[in-house]
Amino acid sequence: MARMRKLLSAASLLAALALVGCAPEEGGLQSQKLATLKGRGKLICGVDGKLPGFSFVAPDGQYSGLDVDVCKAVAAATLGDPTKVDYRDLNSSERFAALASGEVDLLSRNTTVTLSRDAAGGNGLSFAPPVFYDGQGVMVPVASGIKGLKDLAGKPICVETGTTTELNLADRMREIAAAYTPLKFQTGDQTYAAYLQGRCVAVTSDRSQLAGKRTNFPDPAAHTLLPEVLSKEPLAPATVNADPAWSDAVRWTVYALMQAEELGITQANIDTKLAEAKAKTNLADLRRFLGVEGEFGKQLGLAPDFVVKAVKAVGNYGEIFERNVGTGSKLKLERGLNRQWQQGGLIYSPPFR
C-alpha cells in the first residue's frame, strides 16, 4: 500500500536521522553511494511506474519508458549491466522522502526542477540535467465545450497532491481571479479515475503526462488539451545533495546520452564507432568520449568505457525520446524544446573535456 510505504519511508527518515551516530564522512574521491551500489550489485531506481511513455510496466512485466531508460543507462554506466535495476514505484508525495532516506539511489520520476527542491534548505536534492522539457496543461472532455482556463471558474479540477502542478494551478487561477475547487488525490490512478468518472470537469498535470495517461483512456479521442501552458516544467532525474560524486556520475551519464546524439553515435553503430576510435589515433575527441584514452571514467569513479555501456544499453538521447514518447510511439509527442541545441532545442551537453 502506497500510504504504508510513505509512512515507512518518513519513519525511516526520522529513524535514520535519529539513530545514525555520526554525520556522513567527508566526501572523498570515492562516492559512498557508488561503493554501496557495487557491493549490492543493483541500482534501486524510483519511478512512477504508471505513466505510459515515461515509466510503465508492459504486459510482459518489464518496465519501459524514458525515465526507465535513464535508470538503465545509469545501471549500465555504474554496474556495467542495464538489467541490474530494482524499480520502486513511488507516488509524487512519497518520492522525496524515499530519496532522502536512501530507500532509492536515484529518482527518475518526471520530477520538475525547482529552487526549493534543489536548495539545501529545501528538499536538498541534486538534479541531473533535464531529460524532458515540459509544461503544465489542462485536459478536458471534448464534449464539455470548455475552451480555456476562464471557463473553469467555479468548477472542480482534479490534481495530484504534492506536485508543482498543484501550486501552478493555484497561482494561475488567482491571476485570472477565478474561484475553483481543487480535488486532490494522492496517486495519479485516483486522480484520473475521478476525472474519468466525471467528478471533475478538468484534470491538470504536465502535458506529456496528460498525453501519456490519455493513451490508456477508454476513448482517448474524447479528451483534449486546453491551449494554455501554465508553467515551465523541466523534468530531471535527481539524487541527494549529500553525495556529490554520485550526483556527478548520474549527471554525466545523462550528458553522455545527449552528447552521443550530437556526435551521431547510436545503439546500432556504437561498435563501429568504438572500433574506429581505437584504430584512428587522430580522433582524440571521440577516443576520449568513448574512453579509449583519457581518464573521464576514473574521474567519475566509473569504468573507462561507461559511455559505451550506457549507449549500448539504451541508445542515445534522440533514440530514447523517439522510442518512448516520440512521433512513432503511442504518445506521438513532437521533439519541440527537446531537440538538440543545433536544431533550436534545449538539449545541450557541456563538452567532454
Considering only 8, 10, 229, 337, the residue that binds other proteins (CB under 8 A) is 10
Q: Which listed range, 191-199, 252-260, 289-297, 342-350, lies at the site for other proteins (CB under 8 A)?
A: 191-199
If one asks whether residue 184 binds other proteins (CB under 8 A), the answer comes out as yes
Rounded distance between C-alpha atoms, residue 69 and residue 62, angstroms: 12
In whole angstroms, how close is the CB of 155 to other proteins at the nearest point? Answer: 10
In whole angstroms, how close is the CB of 161 to other proteins at the nearest point? Answer: 5
CA atoms within 13 A on the CB side of 115: 0
In whole angstroms, how close is the CB of 122 to other proteins at the nearest point? Answer: 4
Number of helical (H) and strand (E) elements in the chain, helices listed first: 14, 13
Q: Which listed range, 44-52, 169-177, 282-290, 340-348, lies at the site for other proteins (CB under 8 A)?
A: 169-177
CA dist 29 → 76, 241, 346 (Å) = 21, 16, 31
Q: Which listed range, 115-123, 203-211, 249-257, 278-286, lies at the site for other proteins (CB under 8 A)?
A: 115-123
Cβ–Cβ under 8 Å, residues 258 and 348? yes
Rounded distance between C-alpha atoms, residue 144 and residue 121, angstroms: 43
If one asks whether residue 151 binds other proteins (CB under 8 A), the answer comes out as no
Supply the DSSP symbol for 21.
Answer: -
If one asks whether residue 216 binds other proteins (CB under 8 A), the answer comes out as no
Q: Which listed range, 19-27, 245-253, 309-317, 331-339, lies at the site for other proteins (CB under 8 A)?
A: 19-27
If one asks whether residue 215 binds other proteins (CB under 8 A), the answer comes out as no
If one asks whether residue 198 binds other proteins (CB under 8 A), the answer comes out as yes
Rounded distance between C-alpha atoms, residue 77 and residue 347, angstroms: 20
User: All 3 cell numbers of residue 24?
Assistant: 556522513
If one asks whether residue 17 binds other proteins (CB under 8 A), the answer comes out as yes
Residues 6+ apart with CB under 8 A from 18: none
In whole angstroms, how close is the CB of 252 to other proteins at the nearest point? Answer: 25
